[in-house]
Amino acid sequence: MAAVERILLGGRVAAVEDDTLRRDLIQWPQKIDERSKIQDEDCATFVQLVTRFLSRNASLLQLLNE
């Protein structure tokens, strides 16, 4: 990602001739932020709901039984 950041911060994105690639590069930081927020929400959901459910409704032996 460092290379993309250098292109964006250095103002060199205009040198990219492909319109689709240039547009995607410009949108890259927002897309990364969106994915990061989704990942954080998934992690919070797991910790808050799944872990709590398992601790209340399952024993360690049940969890280890394959």
**pLDDT of 12 over the 80 cut:** yes
pLDDT tens digits, one per residue of 15-40: 889 999 999 989 988 999 999 999 99
| Residue 54: band (very low, low, confident or very high) from pLDDT cuts 50, 70, 90 | confident
The residue among 8 and 38 whose pLDDT is bigger is 38
d(CA 56, CA 33): 34
